[in-house]
Amino acid sequence: MKKLLARLPHGKGEWFFGSSGRATFFGSAAALLLVCFVDALSPSATIIPPYYKHILFSCLLYSILSLSLNLVTGFVGQLSLGHAAFFGIGAYVTGALTKFYGINFWLTIPAAAVLAALVAVPLAAAAQRVKGAFLVVITYGFGEVLRYVAINTDFLGGSAGMPGIKPPTIFGFAFNRVGPSGKELYILLAFALVSLLSFFTWRIEKSRVGYALSAIREDEIAAVAMGVNTKYYKTLAIVLSAFLCGVAGSLQAGYASFVSPEMLSSTQSILILTMVIVGGPRSIKGSILGAALLTILPEFFHSVKDWLGLGFDPWMILYGLILIILMRFRPQGFWGKTTVF
Amino acid sequence: MKKTKIISLIMACTLAAALLAGCGKGGSDKLKIGLVAPLTGDNGVMGESQRRGYEMAMEEINASGGVGGKTLELVTYDDQGDPQKAASGAQKFADDKSVLAIGGSCNSSSTLAMIPIIDGGKLPDLVVSSSSAALTGSSEYFFRMSVQDAAVGPLMADALTKMGKKSIVVLYPNNDYGKGLNESIVAQMLANGGDVLDSLTYLATDQDFTAQLTTVKNLDPDAIALAGTPTDSGLLIKQIRQLGIDVPLIGGTGLYNAKTIEICGDAAEDIIVIGVYVASNPDPKVQELVGKYVAKYKQEPDGFAALAYDQMYVIAQAAEKAMAANGGNITRETLAAALKTTAYDGVTGSVTFNEVNDWVRPYLTLTVKNGAFVMFEG
Amino acid sequence: MEFIQQVINGLAQGGIYSLIAIGWTTVYGVVGVMNWTHGEVYMLGAFCGFFLFTRLHLPFLAGLLISMVAGSLIAMAIDQFGYKPLRKIGMPRMAGFITALGLSTLLRYSSTALFTPDPQAYPANLLSYKLLTLFHINGKAITVSSLHLMIFLGTLVIMAALELFIRKTLTGKAMLAASQDMSTLELMGANPEKLIKITFAISGALGAAAGVFVGTIYAINTMMGSLAGLKGWSVAILGGVGNMTGSMLGGLLLGIAESLTAGFVSTGYKDAIGFIIMILVLLVKPTGLKGYSAEEKV
């Protein structure tokens, strides 16, 4: 155990918020536990309504997605508008396997992730040949084609989607039956994944792979000249990223007990990409911040609309404005380290 | 480092503000009704109609003294047709104990995503669309006032059979509404001894149907059945006539909308439509609604708006009943119980719910004369 | 012969795709930014036409021209407020793309707030409609709608005018040169800002024209820009970026492919086919059908 702890990062690392990775991890874990179970301690009314827990879960879920995309967009510098497809594939695999074949939720996660990764291989092959604007179109088209497949496959529920997916169980307890609102275990699971992923990303950045990816981003031709196997590393980044998005998809399918073709939509892909960009590419805390901001702000503006009595929802207009202003004055995002793309 | 701290501080403030945002407690003299629906995006029209119907009815109810002395208030949540957002909206309203009931969403996929949440929050949810069979009996707090594909399809097939049309083609959008309607038309048509030459699908956002209609033209049917919604059906009717396919057209309830006629113009003459209500109905209740609605929104209420208008009255009536039975107090549970025994006579007919909270209702057969929907005779 | 009929149907639709694609490709060629807002210019052009035809009852040609001017102004404004400030700070490509995304979201949703999400139709008597019989095969008439034909011809006229402008005028030649190498052109003494303005003006006019054409045949709403813009983009890439003839060919190809897919394969995959073709073409020939084989600079 001591050995294991010693392997955790320490000092001025930034694999998570703050100055000390370990401190932040334990700090946020404790805060999260408090948030989750404070209601169970208090005898009377709910202190933290399930709606906030729902938003918290969404933040964590999108953090997984943006951290995954960060591997491609941040490290390799390739824009992808198709990552919602991997998210959707993960969700559909988990949905179909648990619903139609009665397979345990936990066993479907690897299946979902592996399938998402396999589907990413042709996309990775495409990314070898084209880049920039061309890659954006290819990834976009790729996601759209998969969405049409989901809409046109009756077995998967067609455009209405697939309801009634069984929630995951732990020691025989269904996830949605544990805790004051039934969302606590999902939050903790998502938090565990986010921390693992942050840790993993932090380690990758300082590893051989990380340096290779940075080399490709900064100057691909120079990287080839230095003997970096760019093909291998680019494929690795995309496949790995798809794998992780697949895991996120499984989680969402279990949480909402519902999947639908909208999960694969380009709006979703654009949202994930802008999360990475707003927070700052290549930055771990940036990706998490971006995901949190773009999840919380729309909800916040729903309330603003009610206060002001506006006839329309101002969020999407503001969302556009935020992107424009951010690119104008801080193109690297909040915590981004690079503007090279 | 300092910059980081400032940004963190701003973040924290935003978070705190967002947290506080939902905490505003409504006064006890108000009954809040939520609406989760697509108000922008591809399905914005449906959600907007529903919102207008609600708003109209609410203003009338409040003007005549409200419900048991309390005024109704509408709070909306734009889900943009995305099930994940719809689930967030449902969760938001489920937590806000001042929200008594909600309406929405429109697309079956969004409504399906909301079901586990409204069921957990014991929050009555009423819809005017979402006809997916997967929703039937999905929760005892889910009340459906939409049209039933299983009822409309046979009516369309029977009307065609009565006109002596034997071989038909069905055109339907590739969503659960279109698919369900197509299935029930085909089944009834075959049962009537007729023949369905082909069922062709399209995407609800398509604009050009020349490719499908070329196939239809070659099949040379006696009649064409349309299972779509205003925009796509309007364009279809226009293009069917433009291509010189001169056979009777029959449409489902989705076609009852002034936009259908606006988009296809003269081509709309003599099409037959199964409807839930008709604006030219001389019933004073209908005329009052149409008059006020046109004055406010510059267009006639479509089927969704009329259903939503009735729905708000249904909610108000059930709330009144629940309050009377419980000494002026009302909870979501008592409201749901009262809704189950609803008997309300509105512009779209007499509303009652069956054992799975579906409204089984009569339909009207309409046609278009001089650019307006009128009752079909013979 | 259904096959030939479907091909003709596809040509009519393809003309509109070509028009949108040329707007994309000129801007990408000269400025090097993925102008995601092009779909929005197309939508705004369609709405401009709608107000001109329904409120002012203008004849078709006048409405079309005014809408094209309006489209130019909108596109130039987008450049002025969106991209120009970025060019000053050396425009990282990603920043340009994200700005375009933001601008497009901003325009689309402000329009929805302004015009409501309701679909709108142009007046029915704007252009007279007739079903023209082209020829007979085995006793079956092959037909084309007069509207489609007129719009197809209109597209050809606009493209021919543009081609002439590029081949014959100095500004046009400069644009062509700019799409190959902007920095060298600058050394030759051309004014890049002026060139960029003209490019945006042309692109906006073409987008608005496509919007008015679509409004004349079909119906319009505030969300129409997203799918049409993307199809235009895939066509531009399919044809080879910066190449107008390629865009033209790509548009017609996509129109025919969609029509044939809907007629013979599956109507549900009609919209997907464009993306499938595009991906396949790009994998085999990354420069598109007629793209310049740009050598990667080392």
Range of the domain at A135: 63-263
Same fold for the pair B27-147+288-351 and B149-275: yes
Query: Residue C126's Cα: distance from chain center in Å?
Result: 22
Inter-chain touch A299–B18, beta carbons under 8 Å: yes
Number of domains present in the structure of chain A:
1
Closest CA to A280 of A215, A335, A234, A218: A335
- B99 contact partners, CB below 8 Å, separation of at least 6: B32, B33, B34, B75, B93, B123
- CA–CA dist A97, A111 (Å, integer): 9
- The pLDDT of residue B21 is 45
Judge: A339–C28 Cβ closer than 8 Å, yes or no: no
Q: According to the model, what pLDDT value does residue A15 have?
A: 47
Q: Exposure string (b/e) for A238-248, b if CB count within 10 Å is 16 or more?
A: bbbbbbbbbbb
Burial of C173 per CB tally in 10 Å (0-12, 13-18, 19+):
middle
How many Cβ contacts (< 8 angstroms) between chains A and C? Answer: 120
Q: Is B218 on the interface with C (CB under 8 A)?
A: yes
Amino acid at A17: F
Residue with tokens 């380009």: A266
> For residue range B114-129, what is the model confidence (pLDDT) as tens digits?
999 999 889 999 998 8
Q: How far apart are CA C210 and CA C155, in angstroms?
A: 8
Partners of chain A (3+ Cβ pairs below 8 A): B, C
At C168, the amino acid letter reads K
pLDDT in tens, C196-251: 899 999 999 999 999 999 998 888 989 888 888 888 888 888 888 777 888 888 89
Which A residues in the span 225-254 are in contact with B, Cβ-Cβ below 8 Å?
252
**Structure confidence at residue A237 (pLDDT):** 92
CA distance C168 to chain A (A): 30
Q: Which residues of A touch C94 (CB under 8 A)?
A: 79, 277, 331, 339, 341
Of B41, B174, B244, the CB nearest to C223: B41
Task: Say how far apart CA C298 and CA A219 lie, in whole Å.
Answer: 10
What residues are paired with B347 via a beta bridge?
none
pLDDT reported for residue B16: 52
A148 with C97: Cβ contact below 8 A: no
Please tell me the distance from the alpha carbon of residue B248 to that of residue B222, in angstroms, as a whole number: 7
Confidence class for position C191, pLDDT limits 50, 70, 90: confident
**Is A15 a domain residue?**
no
- Please tell me the distance from the alpha carbon of residue B285 to that of residue B277, in angstroms, as a whole number: 12
Q: What is the pLDDT of residue A337?
A: 66
Greatest mean pLDDT among A12-16, B4-8, C261-265 lies in: C261-265
Query: Nearest residue on chain B to A50, judged by CA atoms?
Result: B95
B202 interfacial to chain C (CB closer than 8 Å): yes
DSSP C82: I
- Domain-wise residue ranges, chain B: 27-147+288-351, 149-275
**Distances from the Cα of B304 to the Cα of A260, A318, B48, B226, C56, angstroms:** 24, 30, 9, 18, 32
The reported pLDDT for the residue numbered A135 is: 85
Residues in chain C closer than 8 A to A151 (CB atoms): 268
For A267, the closest chain B residue by CA position comes to B82
Q: Kindly report the CATH number that applies to the domain delimited by B27-147+288-351.
A: 3.40.50.2300
Task: Specify the residue for token string 């007046």.
Answer: C123
Closest residue of chain B to C227, computed from CA coordinates = B205
H helical segments located in chain B: 2-21, 44-63, 83-95, 108-120, 149-162, 176-191, 210-219, 230-242, 258-264, 284-297, 303-325, 332-340
Is A288 among the domain residues? no
A267 interfaces chain B, CB cutoff of 8 Å:
yes
Could you say which residues from 46 to 75 on chain A have a Cβ atom under 8 Å away from some Cβ of chain C? none
- Residue labelled with tokens 């399930």: A50
Residue B171: closest C-alpha in chain C: C267
Say if B145 is an interface residue toward chain C (CB within 8 Å). no
Residue B226, helix vs strand vs coil: strand
Structure confidence at residue A87 as a pLDDT band (50, 70, 90): very high
Asked if the Cβ–Cβ distance from B116 to A256 is below 8 Å, we say yes
With a cut of 50, say whether residue B33 has pLDDT above it. yes
Chain-centroid distance of CA A180 in Å reads: 26
- Asked if the structure places residue A277 within a domain, the reply is no
Whose CA is closest to B147, among B50, B250, B274? B274
Can you name the CATH fold of B149-275? Rossmann fold (3.40.50)
Q: What digits encode the pLDDT tens for the residues B73-114?
A: 998 898 888 898 999 999 999 988 889 999 978 888 899 999
Nearest Cα residue in chain C from A158: C268
- Chains contacting chain B through 3 or more C-beta pairs under 8 A: A, C
Domains of chain C: 2-284 (1.10.3470)
Shortest CA distance from B202: residue in chain A: A152
Q: Measure the CA angle with vertex B119, ends B113 and B120; round to 5°.
A: 105
